[in-house]
Amino acid sequence: MPALDRIDDALIERCVSFQQALAVSRAMGRRKPNDAALANAVGVLPCVWSRIQNKPKNRPAYTPEDRYPALCDALGNVGVIQWLAAQVGMELVPKVETREQLLRRELAEIEQARAAA
């Protein structure tokens, strides 16, 4: 699986729903798949994908939990996973980071610590 981008945590933290996080992930994604491609990636019919995105009160639909990797791959980022992690007070850290990614993450952590002090 190719490397996936992270979305700025400040953008993800402003999302109050999965649908908003999905919209941000689509807008910020380096890949721009259409709805049919995303439905195919998630393995659902286009009408089900529409319900996942719009979450109608009378007929909501949900992303199959085993299809999140394919959704992230289609978008080119992990924004929806970041949102899920943020809902339980966590944040994502890649298992393997390039030297630049590591330095950027550490710099962001230092800046957050300074701002909190």
Task: Give the C-alpha separation, 35 to 47, whole Å.
Answer: 10
Model pLDDT for residues 60-101, shown as the tens digit of each residue: 888 899 999 999 999 999 999 999 999 999 988 777 777 887
pTM, two decimal places: 0.77
CATH topology of domain 9-88: 434 Repressor (Amino-terminal Domain) (1.10.260)
Quote the pLDDT of residue 34. Answer: 94
- Distances in whole angstroms, Cα of residue 41 to Cα of each of 10, 38, 106, 109: 27, 5, 33, 34
Model pLDDT for residues 3-52, shown as the tens digit of each residue: 789 999 999 999 999 999 999 999 998 889 999 999 999 999 999 999 99
Quote the pLDDT of residue 55. Answer: 85
Quote the pLDDT of residue 2. Answer: 59
